[in-house]
Amino acid sequence: MDILIVDDDPITRLALCAAVEDWGFTPVLANCGEEALTILGEDNPPHLLVIDWSMPGMTGPELCTTLRSRDDGQFFYILMLTGKEGNDAIIEAMESGADDFLSKPFDHRVLKVRLAAGSRIVRLEQTLNQLASRDALTQCWNRRMIDELLNASIAEAQRKQSPLSIMVLDIDHFKQVNDNYGHAVGDTALKHMVNILNNNLREYDQVGRYGGEEFIVILPSTDKDSAWGVAERIRSSLQYHPAHIDSERDIPMTVSIGLAQLNHYGQDSRHSLFERADKALYEAKQAGRNRVVYRSS
């Protein structure tokens, strides 16, 4: 686990760096609060922080207050180090947003167990976040999370004026799979669908289960022609790779796909973009299923 050490004293930083490395952490160093904020604003920032109280510019409590006032949903466990002692210092540190407090000079054994406790809390928070944002069966994003990701993707595409496409997919005749083979086989079919998607998408494409047998895929930096190629690859891959149930059963599957591309010239939103893709999906199913349809309006 990464750990961010924020201290303006180079000797203290190096000593803490050596100690946490011995304890199995990967140290990330910052010499002031401002540098720490830059690091914590990047992708995949450390979530376990050791912050010194007294620093030039932004102090440790001020850094804590700034982090706790953010509304980006990031969780940070913060351990404050200081030469201050007494209940007043502890209260001030905790009120600013620190989770733990350690006075200098400190016993490294105490710091080690405090960080171990902090790392357990970070992992628990990550596990809870995973449970809250993932579909329990397929482990792709759930509806709430994929809606949030789509909103963020639209905002980024509009800011950069870059293309963005989405696919709405529905497994054809899925009810018959449940009726003929049972829900356990239906669950296997859903997981097979997600495996097909993951095998045909880029690392930064996003897959979400929208409900039942319906899925949505977000394709950043992808125009309609490229999205069509991806959709056709997925459709073909599923058609020619049935879901393997056991040594005696393979379940053939097909999928209908609706496509839409973000319109930069209007006031496109998550709702309007999804609505076009959903209408395209409906047209694909009306036209006989196992096909891709694009809708521009």
Query: Which residues lie below 8 Å from residue 9, measured CB to CB, with a gap of 6+?
Result: 52
Q: Fill in the DSSP letter of residue 220.
A: E
Lateral strand order in the sheet of 48-52: 26-30, 2-6, 48-52, 77-82, 100-103
Determine the Cα–Cα distance for residues 145 and 139; give it in Å rounded to an integer: 12
Among 257, 80, 286, residue whose Cα is nearest residue 171: 257
Determine the Cα–Cα distance for residues 68 and 36; give it in Å rounded to an integer: 14
Long-range contacts of 293-296 (CB under 8 A, 24+ apart): 293/256, 293/257, 293/258, 293/259, 294/224, 294/227, 294/228, 294/258, 294/259, 294/260, 294/261, 295/258, 295/259, 295/260, 296/224, 296/260, 296/261
Q: Which of 42, 62, 156, 213 is catalytic?
A: 213
Q: Is 213 a catalytic residue?
A: yes
Determine the Cα–Cα distance for residues 293 and 284; give it in Å rounded to an integer: 6
Phi, psi of 101 (to 5 degrees): -145, 135
Q: Fill in the DSSP letter of residue 70.
A: -
Active site residues: 213
